[in-house]
Amino acid sequence: MSLKAEVLAPAGSADMLRAAVFAGADAVYLGLEQLNARRSAGNFSAAALREAVGFCHARGVCVYVTLNTIVYEDERAAAVSAIGDVCAAGADAVIVQDLGMARLVRECAPGLALHGSTQMSIHSLEGALELAEMGFSRAILARELSLDEIRRISEGCGIETEVFVHGALCMSVSGQCYMSAFLGGRSGNRGMCAGPCRLPFAADGSGACHLSLKDLSAIPELGALRDAGVVSFKIEGRLRTPEYAAAAVNACRASLDGQTYDETLLRDVFSRSGFTNAYIDNKRGPQMFGVRTPEDTARAKAALPRLRELFRRERPSVPVELELTVAPEGACVTVRDADGNRVTKQGAQAPAAAQKDPSEGYRRALEKTGGTPFYAEKIHLGAGTEQFVPAGEINALRRAALEELLERRSELHPIPFTPPAPRAPRRHAGMPSRLAAQFESAVQIPDDVSALSALIVPLAEWESVPEPLRPKTWLALPRLLFGEQETRAARTLETVKDKGFAGCFVQNLSHVHLCRGLPMFGGFGLNAANSGAVETLRDKGVSTVTLSVETTLAQQETIAPPGVRTAVVCYGHMPLMLTRACPLRNVRSCAGCSREGELTDRKGVSFPVRCTGPDGYRTVYNPVPLYLGDKLEQVRADTALLLFTSESSARCAEVLGLFAAHSAFDGAFTRGLYYKGTQEI
């Protein structure tokens, strides 16, 4: 594993890439024009990607390409094409969210490095271990972790870890936010987030923005993060400006070198009334929240001239050795880099006898690497250098040698790529023959559950499940398990494995790793939107996979791989956000809190909030339930899954009755995205 501390900068455009590299970035991440989580950034065509890789590699800078959205079944050809473009450019890695995309990369280009996107919700050691077993070389950790939690993962997972250290903070755990998709059709998991969390959602009806977090800045903590085992320090912001990228890179470089940086300038280029580092410092509270003000915008405009100075000149970053020898036919300059490249340029001007020692002048001439990415790490004066050659001749040879070296370093080194064999299309044959229900608490279970082929209850409430129901009851792990919570869950799993339960309900890769060897039922949090993702989970022992709630009924019909059942969420108040920061803390403390509340948007609509406790997470729910009970004949899956959250036992029984009769719903409801789908560019 590399131990180098890497400053990783966003490159939403060619101008931003240039600014980041000139400011001293060790690596950049960028997206192609599709299948990346910042679809509204400038992004790169296949030709522009090749140019970017050549530019960066010449300067010793890595390029990571973001293919980090969920992928629909009919996008397989586009995904293959994108992987081919990355391989042709010889990029250093791809960043992926979708398990099907990861499977495709391994099939097409086993030599291409895989980085697990923060959209994969890797928030625990078990999740990172699962990535390692899948062949990923790096885990990009969730933003919600404390320094101790980051250390636990970094020291134990056996692969590189990457941590966001500056930029915007999503309110929801990445990959688990469906708010933009459900409220406006623009999916964050598809790179189209409309940022609804920046709008008014008030915990007290005041019109405040209680879902809007300040920007993160952990730049003062880079030394501690490096000591905790973090390899890559990531700057968020592909939708921002070249000035922003340069300022953040400059600050990170200074911090890692133990130097001071201009914190005011960093704040001025972009902030939301300052910064927060509450997650890493483990001091979560109302001080985390903030909005962008007119004063913030005015400061950014005033700071532009100073910011542009940060990348007006290229920062020398590539060490080279230069050697001068002088023969009767003329001077000879040779340059070498650490990668084994060697360029020699021979002059044609015969030397003359020196009137004084010329060595100091030769050294000065060879050191002049300004305007290039090179700096003279070593200078050798070889045979014949006691003779005199004019400085202009030495300068010309040096320039020519460095120009050719830069060209050689810019040469692309494609990665082997083999297109996969075509897949025969498959379609699911019929409507669901099984009905499953997930209960937030065991007390919600109705007396009559004969219509249910599967019940899902919280792992912590396993003792509340009557023994006759256990053979068809799946135990749901908490959707987020931070630090020691994961260890406690593992102990509980060991306790219940012989208690007669059907198995475990899993919602992320940490669950999959924790529950290996046990029967598993996969939830919608796995974001399985294509056959490849379902097949990957099947191969890991998941017998039923709930399809992404961001797929349409027509798309679901085409996801029917052999050897695994599929499920579709057909009822429930959808969890729109999964958060570690508590929006209710803006108006109340944890002491005496009922762990329930609501957020009111600018239209007066109230969104329920439920909390699992101070050390856990919060869920923001859609106020109206999803309902397909009267449309089951149009659903193409094995299982219809019902999600019960705040309903009483009696209400759960009523909803089950509506499904049994295929009746229309008896209140306000939504069809979700099952018919209209997500908006695309």
**Beta carbons of 394 and 366 less than 8 angstroms apart:** yes
Residue 69's closest CA among 606, 551, 592? 551
Asked if residue 406 and residue 330 are part of one domain, the reply reads yes
Q: Which helix (H) or strand (E) holds 647?
A: none
What residues form DSSP beta bridges with 162?
A: 140, 232
- pLDDT value for 539: 98
The Cα 543–Cα 516 span in angstroms is 12
**For 327-343, what is each residue's pLDDT tens digit?**
999 999 999 999 999 99
- pLDDT value for 653: 98
Average pLDDT of the chain to the nearest whole number: 96
The Cα 204–Cα 238 span in angstroms is 34
Our measurement of the distance from residue 413's CA atom to the centroid of its chain's CA atoms, rounded to an integer in Å, reads 26
Does residue 583 sit within a domain? yes
**Beta carbons of 3 and 226 less than 8 angstroms apart:** no
Asked if residue 440 and residue 361 are part of one domain, the reply reads no
Q: Identify the domain containing residue 500 by its residue range.
A: 434-660
Would the pLDDT of 455 be above 70?
yes
Asked if residue 346 and residue 479 are part of one domain, the reply reads no
Residue 37 pLDDT level (bands cut at 50, 70, 90): low
Cα separations (Å) of 401 from 57, 311, 337, 358, 391?
Answer: 18, 25, 12, 21, 15
Does residue 290 sit within a domain? yes
Asked if residue 370 and residue 487 are part of one domain, the reply reads no
- pLDDT value for 58: 98
Would the pLDDT of 36 be above 90?
no
- pLDDT value for 681: 59
**For 585-619, what is each residue's pLDDT tens digit?**
999 999 889 999 999 999 999 999 999 988 899 99
Percent of the chain with pLDDT over 70: 99
Asked if residue 340 and residue 236 are part of one domain, the reply reads no
- Residue 419's identity, in one-letter code, is P
The tokens for 98 are 């979708």
Asked if residue 136 and residue 253 are part of one domain, the reply reads yes
**For 465-480, what is each residue's pLDDT tens digit?**
999 999 999 999 999 9
Would the pLDDT of 42 be above 80?
no
- pLDDT value for 424: 87
The CATH number of the domain holding residue 104 is 3.20.20.70
Asked if residue 255 and residue 110 are part of one domain, the reply reads yes
Does residue 342 sit within a domain? yes
Would the pLDDT of 1 be above 90?
no
Does residue 178 sit within a domain? no
- pLDDT value for 546: 98
Does residue 359 sit within a domain? yes
Task: Provide the domain count of the chain.
Answer: 3
Phi then psi for residue 420, to 5 deg, are -75, 160
Residue 360 pLDDT level (bands cut at 50, 70, 90): very high
The tokens for 277 are 């580092």
Asked if residue 325 and residue 295 are part of one domain, the reply reads no
The tokens for 620 are 């923001």
Asked if residue 457 and residue 528 are part of one domain, the reply reads yes
CA angle (237, 260, 371) in 5-degree steps: 70
One-letter-per-residue 3-state SS of 483-504: CHHHHHHHHHHHHHCCCCCCEE
For CA atoms 402, 8, 136, 484, give the dihedral sign: positive
- Determine the average pLDDT of the residues in 506-521: 97
SS3 of 222, please? helix
Does residue 391 sit within a domain? yes
Asked if residue 341 and residue 398 are part of one domain, the reply reads yes
Asked if residue 134 and residue 16 are part of one domain, the reply reads yes
- pLDDT value for 3: 52
What is the 8-class DSSP label of residue 469? Answer: G
Residue 2 pLDDT level (bands cut at 50, 70, 90): very low
Residue ending a domain, among 311, 331, 365, is: 311
Residue ending a domain, among 262, 293, 311, is: 311
Task: Tell me the pTM.
Answer: 0.96
Phi then psi for residue 561, to 5 deg, are -70, 150
Neighbours of 591 (CB within 10 A): 6
Does residue 673 sit within a domain? no
Asked if residue 57 and residue 75 are part of one domain, the reply reads yes
Would the pLDDT of 500 be above 50?
yes
- Determine the average pLDDT of the residues in 512-531: 98
Residue ending a domain, among 251, 279, 311, is: 311
Percent of the chain with pLDDT over 90: 95
Would the pLDDT of 553 be above 70?
yes
The tokens for 578 are 């999964």
Does residue 631 sit within a domain? yes
**For 109-165, what is each residue's pLDDT tens digit?**
999 999 999 999 999 999 999 999 999 999 999 999 999 999 999 999 999 999 999
